[in-house]
Structure 1
Amino acid sequence: MKKILLLSGMMAGLSIHAQFSITIQGPEGFKEQDAVLYTLSGSKDIIVTKEQKKNNVWTFKYPKAYSGMMKAYFPNTNNTVTFISENKNVNIRLEADGNKIKDIIYLDEANALMSSIQESSQKKEVILPALSQIKEYYKDNTEFGKALKAEIGRLSGNDNSDASKFPFVNYYNTNYNKYLSAENTKKISQDDIINFIDKSNDMLETSSLLRPLLVAYLNNGGNTNVAGSVDQLLDKLKVETPRGQTVLSELIDIFDVYDMAEYKNKYLGLAKNLKCTITDRLASTLKSNANVELGAVFPNYKFQSAVNTDAKTIHDVKADKKVIVFWSSTCSHCETELPQLLAKYKELQAKKIQIIGLSLDTDKSSYTTRIAAFPWINDSELRGWNSSYSETYNVHATPTYFILDANNKIISKPEHVGNVLEYFNAK
C-alpha cells in the first residue's frame, strides 16, 4: 500500500519534478485564495498540500504516482470539488454563483468520462424506476408514450463508454456495479467480498469503495455473528499488513458510527495490542480514540468566534463541570435533544455546570439563527465535517456529548440528552 503523507517542505522541494499536475480554473469574482488538496485512504481524507490562487488558477504539482479519488477544499468559502486522478494531468473549470460553486466542468478526458458514467448511473438508479411507473399511464402510440419508452430504453441499456484506457475509472465502476449496485448486492457472498478485498490492487484504498464494501460485508453476515465475520476477514487479510490495518481502522469507525460499542472496544483493543509497525491510517484512529477515552484530558480547543463567553479556549472556561455537545442546525436529532437541554439550562447553571456547543454547520446564517435560542457558549468553524472536531474528538455523528470535570478530564460520554440530564439529576 502507498503511504501518501507529504510534508509541505517536501512538496516544495519535489514540485518541479511533478508526476502530474492538477489545474483548477476559478470563476471571476470568486473570493477564495486558498485551496487544500487531499488524497484518500479508505474513507479518510489525507491532506497533501495547500496552494494559493495565481491569476485565478490553482495549480498543484503532485510528485508521485497516484490513481484514485482526490478533492480540493476551499476553506474560506467552504466549497469542495471532487475528482479523480489517473496519474495524469487533471484540468477543471469552476462556475460559481457568488462564493458558491454551482457547476464543475471537467476538461480532462478521464474526469469527463467518470462524471458522465456517474451521472448515467444515478439516473438509472433514481429516474428509471419513476419513469417505469409513469409509463403505465400512457399508451405507447402517443407522442409522450413513445418518448417515454425511448428514454426508458436508453436508461435501461448498458453504458458503452470506453473506460478500458482509464484503469481507475474501469476499476471503480466495474467493482461498484459488481459488489455495491442494488441489483447485485444480494448475489454477493461474504467470501466474494473477502476475496476481492484480499486480492485487489492498491486502488481499493483510494477508490472510496472500501467503507461501503465493509458495511455490505457485515450486513451480508447478519447480526448473529458479527465478531465471527470480522475475525474471518482479518485472518484472511493478516491484520499486521497495511491493508489489514486499514480495514481494522475502518471497522472500528463503522462500529463507532452505528453505536456498536462492544465490537468497537474489542477491535480497538486488538489495534492497541498490535506489535508490528502501525500505519498512519490506523495510528490516526488510535489517536482520535485516545483523545476522548474516559479519564483523558479533553484536548483543548481555541475558540474561533465564540458567543456568550470571554474565554479564549475550552480549558479557560471555569466551571465545576462542563458539557461539550457537538451538533448541527441541520441535524434532526439535535432539533429534538437540544431544547431539552435548554429547558434545564438554568438548573444546570445553578449547579455550576457550563454547556459548550461546537457546531458542525457550514451555513453561517442557519448557525447564527439557531444559536440565538441557546444561551450557553457556542462556537463553530463553519466547515461541517471538514472541521477539526471530527478527527480531534472522534466525532462521527451529531449530537455527541462529553462531560468534563473542573480539570477538563472526561468523566462521562452520554449517548443522549436524557443521559446528560440523568447524570446531573436534572430529569
Structure 2
Amino acid sequence: MKKIFVLSGVLLAFSLHAQFSVNIQTPADFKDKEAILYTLSGSKDIIVTKEQSKNNSWTFKYPKNYSGMMKVYFPNTNNNISFISENKNVNIKLETEGNKIKNVIYQDEANELMNSIQEYSQKKELILPALAQIKEYYKDNTDFGKALITEIGKLSGNSTVDQTKHPFVYYYNTNYAKFLSNDSAKKVSQDEVVDFFDKSNDMLESSSLVRPILVAYLNNGGNTNVGQSVDKLLDRLKVETPRGQTVLSELIDIFDVYEMTDLKNKYLTLAKNLKCTITDRLASTLKANANVEIGAVFPNYKFQSPVNTTAKSIAEVKADKKVVVFWSSTCSHCETELPKLLEKYNELKAKNIQIIGLSLDSDKDSYTKKIVAFPWINDSELRGWNSSYAETYNVHATPSYFILDANNKIISKPEHVGDVLSNLNLK
C-alpha cells in the first residue's frame, strides 16, 4: 500500500510533485509485478512505497529531499538492488535470467560514478597486492614490467569526486576511506569517531556507515572498555536527540548480534526509561525486543505454506510446549544442531511438545530438500533475511530458539540445542 501524506493547503499541492523519481526497467520475461522501495535509517531499511509494474517498468515518486542509500525489493522473486539518491532522478536497467538479476546497469550520473568507484576500490583491495608481488619477478624495462607499473600506478591513486556536484558520493567514499578502509593512512582515534558522529550531517543516517563505524569504534577501544567507549559516545550525542537515539538503537542491535547480553540489557534499559519523544528507529528496536522478552506472549504468525500441520498459525498449534526454531538450509550451525533435535523428536512428541521450524531460506529447492528429514512443522516465506519474522522476532542469527508454554508465552530463549534439550529435561 502506498504511503498517504495527509497535508493541507499549499503543502498538499506541493506534495503531489515528486522531489525526484526512481525508474526501474526489466526484460519482458521477468515475472515479478510488485516492487517495494526502501530508504535507510542507520542499518534499518524503511519502506517508502510499493508499486506495480507497467510494461515491466516501475516508477517510484519520492516527495521529499533524500540523499543516501536506497533499495528496491521484488518480493515474489526475492531479488533486490541497491543504489543511491542525490535527490535527483535515478534510472536503472536490469538484465535478468530465470527471474534472477544478472546485471545492473546504472543510467544516471551519480550511480554510474558510485558504481565505478566501488569497482575501483575492489580492484585496489584485491588486485593491487597481487600485482605488487608479480612485479618482483619482472624487470621494469620489459614491456610487461612497464604495463605492471602503469596498472599499479592507476590502482595506487585515489579517485576524486566533485563534492559540490555529487555530495553523497563524496560523503560516503571520503568517510569510508577514513574510518573503514584497510589502507587508511593512520589509525583513527576514538575522539575522531565521536566528533564524526557528533558533527556529521543527516547523510550519516542514510549512508549505511553507522553500524560498521560503530563496530570499528568499539573494537578500537578494546574488549575491556566497551562500556566506557559507549558512554563516552552517548554522553556527547545525548540520548534525547535523534542522532543519539539512532546510535543507541544500533548499539543495542550490535550487542544482540554479538551476544553481549549484559551490555545489551544495560542500554536497552536506558532506552526503555527515556522520558522524551523517541524516534521511529529506536521505537522499532524497543518493539522487536519487547516482542521476545521472557514472559511476553509470542507474536502470532500466520503460516504461508506449512507442512506437517493443519494449523493456520503458531497460535493454532496445540501443545503443552512449543519449540520455535529459526534456521536455514545454508546455516552450518543448523547442520550441526538440528539433527540433535531430530534424535529427540519422538520423546518430544510423547511429552506433547511441538517443534515449529521457520526457515530463513530463499532457495525453494534447497529448503524443500532439507525439510524432508524434519518431521516437525515447517514453513518459510522463501525471502531469506527479508522474511517478515526476522524483524518481528528480533532474529539476528540462525539457529535461534524460543520455548513457549501452552498459552504461547515465552518461557525460555535457549542459545544452543543443548540448552533446549536441558530445558525440556531431555538431555
TM-score (norm 2): 0.95
Partner of 1:315: 315
1:33-44 equivalence runs, <5 A: 33-44=33-44
Partner of 1:136: 136
8 Å CA contact retained: 1:38, 1:46:
yes
Partner of 1:108: 108
**1:296 and 1:121 mapped to 2: Cα distance?**
47
8 Å CA contact retained: 1:15, 1:62:
no
**1:350 and 1:153 mapped to 2: Cα distance?**
70
Q: For residues 13-35 of structure 1, what are the alpha-carbon distances to aligned partners after superposition, in whole Å with 9 as ceiling and x for unaligned?
A: 77631000001111121001010
**1:349 and 1:139 mapped to 2: Cα distance?**
73
Q: For residues 138-176 of structure 1, what are the alpha-carbon distances to aligned partners after superposition, in whole Å with 9 as ceiling and x for unaligned?
A: 444555444333322221122245454110000000111
Q: Any idea what SS the aligned residue of 1:365 has? A: helix
Partner of 1:26: 26
8 Å CA contact retained: 2:92, 2:107:
yes
Partner of 2:415: 415
8 Å CA contact retained: 1:15, 1:61:
no
**1:272 and 1:343 mapped to 2: Cα distance?**
41
8 Å CA contact retained: 2:354, 2:376:
yes
Distance 1:343 1:15, change over 3 A: farther
Q: For residues 286-330 of structure 1, what are the alpha-carbon distances to aligned partners after superposition, in whole Å with 9 as ceiling and x for unaligned?
A: 000000000000000000001111110001111111110101111
Q: Confirm or deny that 1:55 pairs with 2:50.
A: no
Partner of 2:406: 406
Q: Any idea what SS the aligned residue of 1:9 has? A: coil
**Higher alpha-carbon deviation: 119-128 or 98-107:** 119-128
**2:165 and 2:230 mapped to 1: Cα distance?**
36
Gap runs ≥5 in structure 1: 1-5
Q: Confirm or deny that 1:233 pairs with 2:228.
A: no
8 Å CA contact retained: 2:2, 2:50:
no
Partner of 2:80: 80
**2:246 and 2:407 mapped to 1: Cα distance?**
35
Q: Confirm or deny that 1:9 pairs with 2:11.
A: no
Distance 1:87 1:367, change over 3 A: same
**1:329 and 1:131 mapped to 2: Cα distance?**
38
TM-score (norm 1): 0.95
**1:421 and 1:299 mapped to 2: Cα distance?**
23
Q: For residues 310-362 of structure 1, what are the alpha-carbon distances to aligned partners after superposition, in whole Å with 9 as ceiling and x for unaligned?
A: 11000111111111010111111111111111111112111111111101111
8 Å CA contact retained: 2:161, 2:169:
no
Distance 1:375 1:62, change over 3 A: same
Partner of 2:397: 397
State the shift of 1:132 in Å. 2.4
Q: Confirm or deny that 1:294 pairs with 2:294.
A: yes
Q: Any idea what SS the aligned residue of 1:10 has? A: coil
Q: For residues 218-263 of structure 1, what are the alpha-carbon distances to aligned partners after superposition, in whole Å with 9 as ceiling and x for unaligned?
A: 0011111211111111010011000100000000000000000000
* Aligned residue type for 1:312: K
Partner of 2:306: 306
**2:187 and 2:53 mapped to 1: Cα distance?**
48
**2:236 and 2:136 mapped to 1: Cα distance?**
49
State the shift of 1:426 in Å. 1.7
Partner of 2:266: 266
Partner of 2:67: 67
**1:346 and 1:414 mapped to 2: Cα distance?**
20
Distance 1:203 1:161, change over 3 A: closer
**2:412 and 2:246 mapped to 1: Cα distance?**
29
**1:370 and 1:133 mapped to 2: Cα distance?**
44
Q: Any idea what SS the aligned residue of 2:168 has? A: helix
State the shift of 1:134 in Å. 3.3
Q: Any idea what SS the aligned residue of 1:290 has? A: helix
Partner of 2:221: 221
**2:6 and 2:104 mapped to 1: Cα distance?**
26
* Aligned residue type for 1:167: P
8 Å CA contact retained: 1:390, 1:396:
yes
**2:397 and 2:331 mapped to 1: Cα distance?**
9
8 Å CA contact retained: 1:11, 1:63:
no
* Aligned residue type for 1:109: E
Aligned residue pairs total 422
Q: For residues 78-136 of structure 1, what are the alpha-carbon distances to aligned partners after superposition, in whole Å with 9 as ceiling and x for unaligned?
A: 10011100001001111001200000000000000000001101111122223323333
State the shift of 1:187 in Å. 1.1
Q: Any idea what SS the aligned residue of 2:29 has? A: coil
* Aligned residue type for 2:307: V
Q: Provide the aligned C-alpha RMSD in A.
A: 1.7
State the shift of 1:9 in Å. 2.3
* Aligned residue type for 2:295: G
Percent identity reads 77
8 Å CA contact retained: 2:161, 2:170:
no
Distance 1:192 1:288, change over 3 A: same
Q: For residues 346-403 of structure 1, what are the alpha-carbon distances to aligned partners after superposition, in whole Å with 9 as ceiling and x for unaligned?
A: 1211111111110111111111111111111110101111111111000011111000
Q: Any idea what SS the aligned residue of 1:220 has? A: helix
* Aligned residue type for 1:9: I
8 Å CA contact retained: 1:124, 1:155:
yes
8 Å CA contact retained: 1:117, 1:161:
no
Partner of 1:360: 360
1:160-239 equivalence runs, <5 A: 160-162=160-162, 164-184=164-184, 187-239=187-239
Q: Any idea what SS the aligned residue of 1:47 has? A: strand
**2:114 and 2:6 mapped to 1: Cα distance?**
28
**1:140 and 1:414 mapped to 2: Cα distance?**
61
Q: Any idea what SS the aligned residue of 2:326 has? A: strand
